[in-house]
Amino acid sequence: MFLNGDNKYTDETTKLMALVRKKPLPVHVAIIMDGNGRWAKKRGLHRVAGHRQGVETLRDVIKTSDDLGIKHLTIFAFSTENWKRPVSEVNALIDLLVEYLRKEVMELHSKNVKIVILGCLDAFHPSVRREIERAVELTKDNSGLNINIALNYGGRAEIIRAVKNIIQDVNDKKISPDDIDEKLFSSYLYTANIPDPDLLIRTSGELRISNFLLYQIAYTELVFTQPDVLWPDFNKKTYLEAIVEYQNRQRRYGGINT
């Protein structure tokens, strides 16, 4: 890919790509794709134009993740709180997701990508659910990159759902209270069978978690981009830089370096 006909960008990303391959890569990258609205506003465009451009960024990030052999890419596409937005924006976001799945699911499938949904789909129109479930069903046996789409997802709601299901299973005598430990609790989350994120990236300079993967990010390395890197501005170079930053961190999990 060339930027303004200048091959400097290509050289730089090629070098970064080679650099990140030298050290252990994150197995699981989670992303809060923030700043679409601001990106659009800066250009005098409607917020939805920002989301549409955000899908282009997502496409590039998926490609880079796949090229690097990252196993899990989890994206915060729609939160339980996003329903508070104007109905036109909510509908536009849902339409974008459906359009994306309709257009790209076959190609993703051919690349061995598995699509997983984190969140409750009950709130969506049956036609939307059908499209999402079709993509999940089609790709469920794929063994390549897992794209975990957090949809109508909230970390607190996920934890409360897990607690209720555990209580139900205790009452039904399927498990005993003594069985409850971190491993069992994790298996009741939407992310059951998915390792915790190694790296969480948030674009646009906001220093918040916003109810994303609250339980899972206990030991995740957090990388926040500069405020001028809004999600549509995020690209292969900024993604690779975030991975380099992750690779330069010392992960101690509460222990000490030996």
Within 10 angstroms of residue 215's Cβ, the number of other Cβ atoms is: 16
Contact residue for ligand FPP among 16, 29, 48, 96 (CB under 6 A): 96
Q: Is 118 in the site for ligand FPP (CB under 6 A)?
A: no
| Cα 139 from Cα 158, distance rounded (Å) | 24
Q: Which helix (H) or strand (E) holds 31?
A: strand 28-32
Tokens standing for 248?
A: 């330069």
The answer to the question of residue 55 lying near ligand FPP (CB under 6 A) is yes
Enumerate residues 6+ apart whose C-beta is below 8 A from 255.
none
165 is catalytic: no
Say whether 121 sits in a helix, a strand or coil. helix
Contact 154, 79 (CB under 8 A): yes
Whether 34 is a known active-site residue: answer: yes
Encoded one letter per residue, x for contact with ligand FPP by CB under 6 A and - for no contact, window 122-151 reads ---------------------------x--
Q: Report the distance separating Cα 104 and Cα 61, nearest Å.
A: 14
Catalytic annotation, pick one of 60, 66, 82, 142? 82
Applying CB under 6 A, which part among 17-25, 49-57, 129-137, 174-182 lies near ligand FPP?
49-57
- φ/ψ of 95, rounded to 5, equals -60, -40
In the bound state with ligand FPP, the residue whose beta carbon lies nearer, of 20 and 225, is 225
Residue with the CB atom nearest ligand FPP in the bound state: 37
Whole-angstrom Cα Rg for the chain: 19
Q: Out of 62, 77, 200, 240, name the contact with ligand FPP by CB under 6 A.
A: 77
Q: Is 36 near ligand FPP (CB under 6 A)?
A: yes
Count of residues that interact with ligand FPP, criterion CB under 6 A: 18
105 binding ligand FPP? (CB under 6 A): no
Q: In whole angstroms, how close is the CB of 33 to ligand FPP at the nearest point?
A: 5
Q: Of the two residues 82 and 186, which places its CB atom closer to ligand FPP in the complex?
A: 82
Q: How far is the CB of 215 from ligand FPP (least distance, A)?
A: 21
Strands 146-153 and 199-202: unpaired
Establish if 154 lies at the interface with ligand FPP (CB under 6 A). Answer: no
- Residue whose structure tokens are 């999990």: 253
Confirm if 31 and 204 have CB atoms less than 8 A apart: no
Chain-centroid distance of CA 41 in Å reads: 24
Q: Side-chain half-sphere of 197: how many Cα atoms within 13 Å?
A: 26
Catalytic residue among 34, 36, 152, 198: 34
Tokens read off for 145: 């990159």
CB of 225 to ligand FPP, least distance (A): 13
Catalytic sites, residue numbers: 34, 82
Which residues sit at the interface with ligand FPP, rule CB under 6 A?
33-38, 51, 54-55, 58, 75, 77, 82, 93, 96-97, 100, 149
